[in-house]
Structure 1
């Protein structure tokens, strides 16, 4: 059976198990819901019957109340009692009708069907007493015993109905609990079956699918790590995993065949290249690889043969160029010595120039420093002038405030003058009234004269104060004008000092720029001096390197003579005598230069008699 068919059948079995579990749960829930509904109906019936029993007692209370309402001292109103009676009888009939309509129990139906007749008799007896209590109270009291007889008859019937309804409610509750227990047991059984079925499915899937896949994955990891002898399990299965195992087995066989072919080819490559490399190590550059190598190793064979051919050509060229290099290096050594002497003279001139420029730089820096100090002093003068202008501004503002205050004092003096005038008028009026009073007003007349005299004196003093205040205001105006003139003079001084400050700043900036330029020139000259001295040292090193190059060229020719390049046997290079060593001219006062980095020297073609060209240089 294939895995897909097995998985479909297992899925169908699990689906059927889920349907059974779900159906069982739904059935159990429906049974519990039905039992709860019946229990609710029984509880509603019991509550309704208890309400009807209460209305039965309420009607009796209404009868007693209506009989007591005949006494005016009772405070009861017939209208209110009548309304309560009608409501109680209505609720009683409604409750009895609901009891009789219940069909959930035969016992309950048997007793509730017997309630309607005594209830109507009881209600009619009560209504008759209500009617008689209004027209014939004595008759109403005579019918009261018969009413109580009907009350007890209905009470007996209501009690039997209550017992039946309570028994029915208890039975309904017991049945509900029993159904709940049955549903719980059934759900537990179904859950156990579902868990067992799921466990069986998982175990089957693990044994038939997951475990074989893990084994195949381990086999693939072994193959990936290079173990081509690993055993492939599951090739005898008839499902998809068996097909995968068969494919993996074929893949392993192909890898084994490829590995065997690779080992054989590698052995052939090692043998052919080993022979050629051995000949190459012995100096035979005519050795090549002639073995028939398979793709992609044919490229290796061609590349090796091409590299050996290139090396053979290169060794030949090196042998031919060694003599030329030896001659050129000797001429370079002679030219370098002459260049060193010329560089020494140039270095001495640059050193003297650098010393003169350094002295010029110091003098310009001193001038720039003095100009900067002069600018600072000008800044201080400007600050002092600004402070003076601020003081004059504050003086002007203070005098203006004094002038405003004087104006206020003038208003006060004018008010005092008016008060003195009115006081004098009042004193005159008082004197007139004292004159009219005769002898009794003489003392008051004397006081009025004194007050009038005092008022006249106050007017005179107010006039003097006004004159003094006017003079003071005039002086204040003059002082303000003078202070403003001083402020204008300070403003002119500030402008002049600012112009001087700008001129000094320009002078300082120009001196600083000149100092900077001279400093840069000094730096450039010093750099040229150091570069010239370093060039002299480098020329000396170049001369020594040229002599070393000539020696190395001789050695290179001797080494190339050891190789066989297929031109009539070995190619021999004639060693030349090393050039005579010339003592290079050493420049004076040369600092120890930094070692110049090695660079590849271009090929120089030097003809015979080239010494004249180097001398002119």
Structure 2
């Protein structure tokens, strides 16, 4: 049987891929089974949660049982402990609902629901419906038998819980053992599959090296020799029927093509020798043609050289080869045409030179007159600018004066306001002085009454004898103090009356000052009106002078532009005259032929000569 490399390599690759997929599948299935949150892990966790949930407080019954006994022994704790029953009952119901969706096995589930939860429900029914009302009522005789029955139900529930814990522990041990055994068996399976994959890979590598890589190396060496020109050896592995045989057959085709190429190269060398002989004959013919072409080129070069030296008197009179004879006629005709054109150019150049001289003189005269006009306009413009500046300065000073007058008016108005405020303040001072005078009168009257009281106190102290001596001294001091207060009040009253007179006089003077300031404000307003009219007239004069100055400047600019244009025209006239003179000089450099006709060419001998 012939093994095809493609089939073998494909089969090996598929086997390796299948092995890898199998190992990955087993590993994934193992990981899925034993991973965290996997089925076995969840069963173990549920079992441990069950033990943890029911052992410390067996479904929350221990705390409620202890609280009920505490209330029975210490009734003062009823207000705190009895509401706690409802909280514990709610937590019990939540855990009860949680275990409905667990993954416990049927035996644990039956033990949990048929015994533990059923007995817990009976316990909670007795506690809520009988114990709690009796404890709330504080009836000790009714609580005692109910607590005894509650004790029996609690311990009955506790026994079921302990049995459930024992069953759960056994279940956890069995599931952990199952998980360990499952892990070991799958590790062994993965290891076996891995060894098979390694063996398959090694076998594939050995087969590919023996059946493919080594023959390919031998064929590569043969092709290297063949590239060096050795086509005599036989292609190795040419008898194989697989892909290597196909490659050897293709290399054999290249070898045959190489042999054919060697034969073609030999034939090509023979053909190349024949081509070289024919090329030698063609080169000889080209040399003859080149000699005729050289004579033509030399003759045309000599004619063009004379033309470059401005010598157009000589033409090409020696005949060319019949193939180039039209070229000689065309050259001679171009020389004749060029000579005729130069004669006309010289005539026009003379006329242009005469006209440019006349235009240069006219432009010079116009330029002088334009410069004189521009100078006169410039002086006029300067004078107008001085007048305009003077009027503008007057208008500015008038505006400044107007501002000063307005500030003086504002100061006068402000002064009037200040005077009116001063008058108002003095009137308020006069009113306050009157009020102070009234207060001083009251103080004087109080001092008089105090003096009388002190006098009466002295009289009473004299009547009291020795016991009233101290009081008499005090009464005397009070009397003197009242006397000094009355004197000071009279002095202050006199000063206030004098101040009132002065204030009245000041009010009158300030009023007269305000009237004078009002008159000053009226005068300032009239001055402001007159200055405003002067400023308006000055601005109008400045504006008119500015417009006149602008018009003069515009005329001056146009004159300057005309002068510039005249100067440019003069410069152009000079340039044109110089150009005409230069053109005349350049045209005079040409040497013209005075013959009217062009001579025909002479016949040329076999020995060619330069023109």
**TM-score bracket relative to the smaller structure:** 0.5 to 0.7
Structure-1 residue corresponding to 2:569? 521
SS in 2 for 1:403: helix
1:488-527 aligned at under 5 Å gives the runs 488-527=536-575
Classify 1:68/1:204 alpha carbon distance in 2 versus 1 (closer, same or farther; 3 Å).
same
Cα pair 1:39 1:176 within 8 Å, conserved: no
| 1:518 to partner: Cα distance | 1.9
User: What is the CA–CA distance in structure 2 between the aligned matches of 1:396 and 1:404, rounded to whole Å?
Assistant: 12
User: What is the CA–CA distance in structure 2 between the aligned matches of 1:198 and 1:400, rounded to whole Å?
Assistant: 117
Classify 1:443/1:345 alpha carbon distance in 2 versus 1 (closer, same or farther; 3 Å).
closer
Using the size of structure 2 for normalisation, the TM-score is: 0.58
1:578-616 Cα offsets, whole Å, 9 max, x none, are xxxxxxxxxxxxxxxxxxxxxxxxxxxxxxxxxxxxxxx
User: What is the CA–CA distance in structure 2 between the aligned matches of 1:71 and 1:358, rounded to whole Å?
Assistant: 144
Cα pair 2:388 2:546 within 8 Å, conserved: yes
Equivalent residue for 1:480, pick from 528, 534, 543? 528
1:347-387 Cα offsets, whole Å, 9 max, x none, are 69956974785586467457646755764665565455444
1:57-456 aligned at under 5 Å gives the runs 59=61, 62-63=64-65, 65-72=67-74, 75-76=77-78, 79=82, 102=105, 135=141, 157=163, 160-161=166-167, 163-175=169-181, 177-178=183-184, 181-182=187-188, 185=191, 188=194, 260=268, 263=272, 266-267=275-276, 270-283=279-292, 312-317=321-326, 354=360, 357=363, 361=367, 364-365=370-371, 368=374, 371-372=377-378, 375=381, 378-379=384-385, 382-383=388-389, 385-417=391-423, 450=498, 453-454=501-502, 456=504
SS in 2 for 1:69: helix
Classify 1:483/1:141 alpha carbon distance in 2 versus 1 (closer, same or farther; 3 Å).
closer
Answer with 24-33 or 10-19: which moved more: 10-19
User: What is the CA–CA distance in structure 2 between the aligned matches of 1:205 and 1:397, rounded to whole Å?
Assistant: 119
SS in 1 for 2:72: coil
The structure showing larger relative contact order (alpha-carbon pairs under 8 Å, at least 6 residues apart) is: 2
| 1:124 to partner: Cα distance | 8.2
User: What is the CA–CA distance in structure 1 between the aligned matches of 2:604 and 2:111, rounded to whole Å?
Assistant: 143
SS in 2 for 1:561: coil
| 1:542 to partner: Cα distance | 0.8
Structure-2 residue corresponding to 1:596? none
1:313-352 Cα offsets, whole Å, 9 max, x none, are 3433466688x779969x959x989997997898699569
Cα pair 1:420 1:455 within 8 Å, conserved: yes
| 1:101 to partner: Cα distance | 5.6
| 1:154 to partner: Cα distance | 5.9
1:266-309 Cα offsets, whole Å, 9 max, x none, are 54762452242133245499xxxxxxxxxxxxxxxxxxxxxxxx
Equivalent residue for 1:466, pick from 504, 510, 514? 514
User: What is the CA–CA distance in structure 2 between the aligned matches of 1:284 and 1:425, rounded to whole Å?
Assistant: 141
| 1:148 to partner: Cα distance | 10
Cα pair 1:392 1:487 within 8 Å, conserved: yes
Answer with 26-35 or 143-152: which moved more: 143-152
1:419-459 Cα offsets, whole Å, 9 max, x none, are 66787789899999999999999999977875664455345
1:517-540 Cα offsets, whole Å, 9 max, x none, are 222222222222222222222123
Classify 1:239/1:446 alpha carbon distance in 2 versus 1 (closer, same or farther; 3 Å).
same
User: What is the CA–CA distance in structure 2 between the aligned matches of 1:184 and 1:207, rounded to whole Å?
Assistant: 32
Using the size of structure 1 for normalisation, the TM-score is: 0.58
Classify 1:316/1:255 alpha carbon distance in 2 versus 1 (closer, same or farther; 3 Å).
farther
Equivalent residue for 1:561, pick from 593, 596, 604? 604
User: What is the CA–CA distance in structure 2 between the aligned matches of 1:529 and 1:380, rounded to whole Å?
Assistant: 45
Structure-2 residue corresponding to 1:47? 49
Cα pair 2:346 2:584 within 8 Å, conserved: yes
User: What is the CA–CA distance in structure 2 between the aligned matches of 1:528 and 1:123, rounded to whole Å?
Assistant: 133
Cα pair 1:368 1:512 within 8 Å, conserved: yes
User: What is the CA–CA distance in structure 2 between the aligned matches of 1:436 and 1:150, rounded to whole Å?
Assistant: 106
Cα pair 2:395 2:542 within 8 Å, conserved: no
SS in 2 for 1:543: coil
Could you tell me which runs of 5 or more consecutive residues in structure 1 were left unpaired when the two chains were aligned: 286-310, 564-569, 576-617
Classify 1:411/1:187 alpha carbon distance in 2 versus 1 (closer, same or farther; 3 Å).
farther
Classify 1:315/1:461 alpha carbon distance in 2 versus 1 (closer, same or farther; 3 Å).
same
Could you tell me which runs of 5 or more consecutive residues in structure 2 were left unpaired when the two chains were aligned: 239-243, 295-319, 449-488
SS in 2 for 1:531: helix
| 1:41 to partner: Cα distance | 0.5
Structure-1 residue corresponding to 2:589? 541
Classify 1:365/1:262 alpha carbon distance in 2 versus 1 (closer, same or farther; 3 Å).
farther
User: What is the CA–CA distance in structure 2 between the aligned matches of 1:154 and 1:312, rounded to whole Å?
Assistant: 141
Answer with 392-401 or 114-123: which moved more: 114-123
Cα pair 2:59 2:95 within 8 Å, conserved: no
Structure-1 residue corresponding to 2:311? none
Structure-2 residue corresponding to 1:26? 25
User: What is the CA–CA distance in structure 2 between the aligned matches of 1:55 and 1:425, rounded to whole Å?
Assistant: 96
| 1:262 to partner: Cα distance | 8.0
| 1:70 to partner: Cα distance | 2.3
Cα pair 1:21 1:191 within 8 Å, conserved: yes
Cα pair 1:25 1:187 within 8 Å, conserved: no
| 1:240 to partner: Cα distance | 10
